[in-house]
Structure 1
Amino acid sequence: MASVTRKPQANREERRGQIERQLLDATDRLMADGTSFTELSVDRLSTEAGISRASFYIYFEDKGHLLRRLATQVFADLSGAAAQWWEVADRTDPSDVYAAMAGIIASYRSHQPVLIALNEMSGYDPLVGETYRELLVGIAAQLTRVIEAGQAAGAIRAQLSAQTTASTLTWMVERTCHQNLPSQPGSYDAELARTLTDIIWGALYLQAPEL
């Protein structure tokens, strides 16, 4: 009798990740015309993503659960953009900070509808709000390590509280993008990236930027 082998858990997680990415792209497309997340039905989201309604409910309890998972995907993209600076911060090159800010802004533009939905639902869905805050706290924690390493190397101001400064800068970038980008054209993005770079560099580093 042939043995029955269960699919490894890794396969299920890989499939979940694939479906989450399909649903993230579908949500971005469907909300691009101004439709709110609350107006999107599970049927419409599933059809746009190319999956069945049954598949949706295999992986997600409801739309709130989906939004929390989409938040994880979006913030992975934002963290990936920020890593353009974090991973080479020991070079103390302001162009790395600029590349990170430009990447964050581009990711925000790409996922703007989902990020707007996260902000809206955070106000009345405690689980969404908690997820949103935890993701930003996670980004601030990574920036804290960058600041501490810079302080140890003598490049970043020693008097700064690394944790408080990282949290402040993280929320500054998040709020700035959320408040300004929806009402500004794409031509504004380079100016914003440069402004954020100047502010962050001036707050952290002992040497003046030369871009």
Structure 2
Amino acid sequence: MPSLTRVTTNRRSQSDQRRREFEAQVLLALERLMSDGTPYTELAVQRIAAASHVARSTFYRHFPDKSQLLIRMADLASQDLFGAAENWWHAEHTDVRHTIAGMRRMIAEFRRHRLVLIALTEVAAYDRDVGRYWRERVQGFQDVICERLIIEQRRGRVDRSCDVTATAIVLTSMVERSISTALGEEQSIDDEQLARALGRAIWLVVYGDPDRSLPR
């Protein structure tokens, strides 16, 4: 006879898998609806539910309002974006080429879900719940940067006079706004140009000299 614990765990695992599949389905539907230029704020819940091929009642069980919907969709869309950034900050980077490579990955991940992430930054400006979610998500990334800057200071790679908190805020804001602006509707900057410009700017802020390779 199977144990109750094993049965419960299996059911929970199946339920989690169904939820992940459902949320991925909604994310694809939402991005399709926005691809013609329709702003997120103009999309009715009923239209999003219909495009996702689920009943409105089922949709509301998962997402009680559009703020919670956007938060969850943005969470899904930004997982790989922040993952790429955090992996770079945790890795060894000894010259500006590594920084540029990290920016390439971040830009590529942002472009995959550009519409949802741009909607997130716009709605976060006036929606309390969405704004709180985004601030907390960005704060988590800033903490990663602070930890790495402290390590680099101990190694003698970053000037001891560098204020790690202020520098983390500068770097996070610079990258987030630069990518959001460059990948907006009216911009035509090439992704590679953006990666190189951001990589050089980050290296200058952190290490001070784009032509200097750091000792391993």
| TM-score bracket, shorter-length normalisation | 0.7 to 0.9
Structure 1 match to 2:195:
193
* Superposed displacement of residue 84, structure 1: 4.2
- Matches of 1:145 and 1:93 in 2, distance apart? 19
> Counterparts of 2:166 and 2:15 in 1: how far apart (Å)?
39
AA matched with 1:74: A
String of CA shifts for 1:72-107, please: whole Å, max 9, x gaps: 22221211221342231x342322211221122122
Which sections of structure 2, spanning at least 5 residues, go unmatched? none
Q: Which of the numbers 33, 44, 49 marks the counterpart of 1:30?
A: 33
**Residue number among 62, 66, 76 corresponding to 1:59 in the alignment:** 62
Report the counterpart of residue 72 of structure 2 in structure 1: 69
Q: Which runs of 4+ in 1 moved over 6 A?
A: none
**Aligned residue among 80, 83, 90 for 1:80:** 83
Amino acid at match of 2:122: E
Counterpart residue identity of residue 95, structure 2 = D
Report the CA distance between 1:197 and its aligned residue: 0.6
- Counterpart Cα distance in 1 of 2:143 and 2:77: 17
Mapping 1:82-161, distance limit 5 Å: 82-88=85-91, 90-161=92-163
- The CA distance in 2 between the partners of 1:135 and 1:148, in whole Å, is 21
Residues 93 and 99 of structure 2 are in contact (CA less than 8 Å); yes or no, is this contact kept in structure 1?
no
Give the superposed CA RMSD: 2.5
Percent sequence identity over matched residues?
Answer: 37
Residues 10 and 171 from structure 1, CA distance in 2 versus in 1: closer, same or farther, beyond 3 angstroms? farther
Q: Secondary structure at the match of 1:103?
A: helix
Shift of the 209–82 alpha-carbon distance from structure 1 to 2, 3 Å rule, reads farther
Decide whether the 8 Å contact of 1:83 with 1:100 is kept in 2. Answer: no
1-side partners of 2:54 and 2:75: how far apart? 20
In the alignment, the residues of structure 2 paired with residue 91 and residue 124 of structure 1 have an alpha-carbon distance, to the nearest angstrom, of: 37
- Shift of the alpha carbon at 1:166? 0.9
- Structure 1: how far apart are the matches of 2:106 and 2:69? 22
Q: CA deviation at 1:10?
A: 4.6
TM-score normalized by structure 1?
0.86
What is the TM-score of this pair, normalised by structure 2? 0.84
In structure 1, stretches of 5+ residues that fail to align are none
Quick one: structure 1 residues 62 and 191, their matched pair in 2 at CA, closer, same or farther if it must change by over 3 Å? same
Tell me the alpha carbon deviations over residues 154-204 of structure 1, each in whole angstroms, 9 at most, x when there is no partner.
22222111121111100111111222221223x611111101111110111
Partner AA of 2:114 in structure 1: Q
Amino acid at match of 1:68: I
